[in-house]
Amino acid sequence: MQHLFPKGFWWGSSASATQTEGAANIEGKGQNIWDYWYEKEPNRFFNRVGPENTSQFYYRYKEDIALMKEIGHNSFRLSISWSRMFPNGKGKVNDKAIEFYNCVIDELVAAGVEPFVNLYHFDMPITMQNIGGWSSREVVDAYVEYATTCFKLFGDRVKKWFTHNEPIVPVEGGYLYDFHYPNEVDFGKAVQVGYNTILSSAKAIQAYKELGQHGKIGIILNLTPSYPRSQHPADVKASKLADIIFNRSFLDPSVKGEFPAELVSLLKKEGYMPTIDEGDIDIIKANTVDLLGVNYYQPRRVKAKEHLPNPEGPFMPNRFFDNYVMPGRKMNPHRGWEIYEKGVYDILINVKENYGNIECFISENGMGVEGEERFRDKSGIIQDDYRIEFIEEHLKWVHKAIQEGANVKGYHLWTFMDNWSWTNAYKNRYGFVSVNLEKDAERSIKKSGQWFKKVSENNGF
């Protein structure tokens, strides 16, 4: 076996509440921003498919966890829905939600699949968004109340917690580029939202440590390497600025407890510093993560600006660089994303060399394919050899990083089963397990799921 992984390696997948649970409007669950936005503007969603039913994990979790076990999972990352736990974002907790998540966690533990639990995956309760979302300190406090409640209720069995998944994405989508609700374009608000999100993470970590539950708590970041078009100083400077804005803005405070000096300097220069209360910086400094989840899908390639930005237009990060389309790049034509497997190695070596070699794992990596049903053979199995190749080539680079001393503990695919994917709905499929929406969400294991079982059993390939 050429690629043997360390003993106890975490093999599994990741998913989120809103994208898989369904049952969006029953048993006490409050609306989140996706429920509300779909109700308001269904045309913004592919084929006008909303989050109300998704993949029915709420009803079929026992069947799904049995399938996880069958395809070799020893761990699975799920998220808890804040609006299911607290229909109003704070105040009274929903007993039905407690019952559901207790059952899911117990089922996972009984199956020998360790639950990794994430607390926030893009799904702000609408009641909280209505008072400002992450721009509001009141919402930060409500989030810490929600997190603390989850620790107390489930922390006896859950020993891997995560405060946020990809926190830069709600900043970009909700406050810069109009692909998440509340669809605002306001750089100043984006900065405050980012800052308050980091503060909320530190405060949740503080609350967890005070409970003394002897687990680990971390954050999950989509770390997208920024590669310059050339070694020309202007291109290199552009790539460093992109890295500071989109990677280091969350990575540095989460792991090191401090913001990049270059980012602070840039925000001061441009007049966009967030409101910082007394004591905040001490909280952020004292409450760094134990464990880092790394999501990687594609690289970011950038070049120096070719045209001056509109001086009257809204302030945007891309006034510092332009995106660069590299000729001859390897592509996933279905998703429109570049495939660059070495990127995962570059991330892990950077974490090793510049972030204290913190314990980390690949928490998302995956390949979305449109119209995957056409690859289903006569026996009913989707022959997704392209996904096997994608995973295998990334794992080779993960293995190389481990061989060179990177502290990498696992690999989770996005995702376990085909799920609803925000405004893309079911356009692209990512799962080890097919969900046939034409046949009552019938599950069937794809070829990649069968392959993954062997990799997990052999702890390598």
Positions annotated as catalytic residues are 166, 364
Per-position DSSP letters for 131-149, written without gaps between them: TTGGG-HHHHHHHHHHHHH
Written as one letter, the residue type at 79 is S
Q: Which of 391, 384, 365, 403 is nearest to 456 (CA)?
A: 391
Written as one letter, the residue type at 271 is G
3-state DSSP assignment of residue 54: coil
3-state DSSP assignment of residue 341: coil
Token digits of residue 391: 């995973």
Q: Is the dihedral of CA 321, 323, 329, 332 positive or negative?
A: positive
Is 323 in contact with 301 (CB distance < 8 Å)?
yes
Give the pairing type, strands 433-436 and 442-445: antiparallel
Is 186 in contact with 314 (CB distance < 8 Å)?
yes
Say how far apart CA 360 and CA 293 lie, in whole Å. Answer: 6
3-state DSSP assignment of residue 171: helix
Say how far apart CA 391 and CA 408 lie, in whole Å. Answer: 16
